[in-house]
Amino acid sequence: MKIVFIEQDRCLACRNCERACAFQDSRNFDRESTNIWVHVNMDHRTIFTLTCQQCEAAICLDACPTAAITRDPDTDAVIVDEKTCIGCRMCIIACPFGCIHFDSAKHIAVKCNLCSGVPKCVQNCMSGALHYADINELAAVKRHKSNRPRHNTALLPAKEDRQ
């Protein structure tokens, strides 16, 4: 199963992913129309990017009373059928990641559909923080990276500051 994987430490908070997603879905750059979110906390100096995890055991799928949420047979993405969705928001309540939102203009639930297997957010990520690959391949790469020897380094204060 392929997913969009986010390397949080590589994200620059440029928000290109948000713009690409919003434009793909609604042809505008409104942040309310995106299915990937970059959260910047200036107080704690943190960046956190979030999108649908395309859960294997998708709770949102089970929560939908009209079976409007299904799996795409080609991409394995959890998708919302706009014609079947009644806008009850049960999937929004059920999603543990908060990755489904309500489109008040269309009165339906909206979430990442992986752009039919070619995620625009990944294509437009300048820093290479977003990857679209099989979850098992991503896990193997992550394990390989974590097994590399690390060199502990630290920034020292300027010479005039050391006293």
Q: Could you report the per-residue pLDDT of 29-81, keeping only the tens digit for each?
A: 777 789 999 999 888 888 889 999 999 999 999 999 999 999 999 999 999 99
Distance spanning both ends of the chain, measured CA to CA: 56
Q: Could you report the per-residue pLDDT of 114-124, keeping only the tens digit for each?
A: 999 999 999 99
Q: How much is the pTM?
A: 0.78
Q: Could you report the per-residue pLDDT of 70-112, keeping only the tens digit for each?
A: 999 999 999 999 999 999 999 999 999 999 999 998 999 999 9
Six-digit token pair at 11? 């994200």
Exposure letters 91-106 (e unless 16+ CB within 10 A, then b): bbebbeeebbbebeee
Could you state, in order of their start, the residue ranges of all structural domains in the chain? 2-139
Exposure letters 116-134 (e unless 16+ CB within 10 A, then b): eeebbbbebbeeebbbbee
- Quick one: fold of 2-139? Alpha-Beta Plaits (3.30.70)
Q: Phi first, then psi: give them for residue 67, nearest 5 degrees.
A: 60, 35
